[in-house]
Amino acid sequence: MSTAPQLVVHRDKELMAQAAAARLITRIVDAQASRGSASVVLTGGRNGNGLLAALATAPARDAIDWSRLDLWWGDERFLPEGDPERNVTQAREALLDSVPLDPKRVHAMPASNGPHGTDVDAAAAAYAEELARAAGPENHGPVPTFDVLMLGVGPDTHVASLFPELPAVRETDRTVVGVHGAPKPPPTRVTLTLPAIRAAREVWLLAAGEDKAQAAAIALSGAGEIQAPAAGAYGRGRTLWLLDSAAASQLPRSLYPPASA
Ligand SMILES: O=C1O[C@H](COP(=O)(O)O)[C@@H](O)[C@H](O)[C@H]1O
């Protein structure tokens, strides 16, 4: 069942990143207190990396027990290990290399020079198996119930590597698929599908900057998920759109009344 999106609009992208980082610390600490560990799905892109950079300098970051945190990815650019365009490379640089994570709990998506070579579909199937192994009987299918799953919203409404009208966004069975011919480079990618995204307790969609304004307005105004994948991303318990005022500037007034001048 979909959860209605809740909107939080911040003044600018820096404040949005800091507030989202603070929110994430709280969620992780609470999950670790109630279940012993926490699981978070990271996103690539400018807003996701901005959040990680803000988390790296947040005074409360040491409240997290980093050794009891599982990290997964919503998507990956299918490139060689260490490529600067890989989402995991950028996440390591922004945060992961500076905190004491358990390397066994950092579940990066396969690289194009890994065990599956350049076969992106085999790489996607292997990641699906890794997710299925991590899922327990208390979960709702072949993926863990992630505590927080973050998604940067692209200017074309894509989330993860689910682009409008491409086959990946139509997938209803598999949890992870290979993407061929993505309109944003690189064309070959690995992505969670909408069913996997919807297994999360909380889904956070991040959108900051003017170039995200139209995408946010479309996705939040009743568009279909095939045409606007962000519209199909929701969590089991909560769906949160974290925006800055530039990204919120084209939202219908019924969703976000801008302050009067
Ligand atoms: O390529 C990608 O782009 C999106 C959004 O990125 P942004 O820079 O426009 O914020 C991101 O969500 C996705 O993870 C990434 O692979």
CB 25 within 8 A of CB 95: no
- List the domain range (segments joined by +) for residue 232: 5-244
The residue whose CB lies within 8 Å of the most ligand 1 atoms, and thus the one to mutate among 158, 241, 244, is: 158
Is residue 249 included in any domain, yes or no? no
Is residue 253 included in any domain, yes or no? no
CATH, residue 155 = 3.40.50.1360
The interface predicted TM-score of the complex, written ipTM, equals: 0.97
Is residue 218 included in any domain, yes or no? yes
Which residue's CA is minimally distant from atom 9 of ligand 1?
154
Residue type, 125: A
Domains in the chain: how many in total? 1
Token pair for 235: 């969590």
pLDDT per position as a tens digit, 99-146: 999 999 999 999 999 999 999 999 999 999 999 999 988 887 899 999
Q: In the chain, count H helices and then E strands.
A: 6, 9
Instruction: List b or e across 86-117, with b for residues whose CB sees 16 or more CB atoms inside 10 angstroms.
Output: bbbbbbbebbbeeeebeeebbbbbbbbebebe
Is residue 184 included in any domain, yes or no? yes
Is residue 84 included in any domain, yes or no? yes
Q: State whether residue 217 is helix, strand or coil.
A: helix
Q: Is the CB of 76 under 6 A from ligand 1?
A: no
Is residue 256 included in any domain, yes or no? no
Is residue 252 included in any domain, yes or no? no
Task: Give the global pTM.
Answer: 0.97
Among 174, 168, 72, which residue's Cα sits nearest to residue 128? 174
Average the pLDDT over 216-220 and give the result.
98
Q: Is the CB of 209 under 6 A from ligand 1?
A: no
Token pair for 45: 């892109």
Is residue 98 included in any domain, yes or no? yes
C-alpha distances (whole Å) from 95 to each of 49, 76, 114, 204 are 9, 17, 23, 19
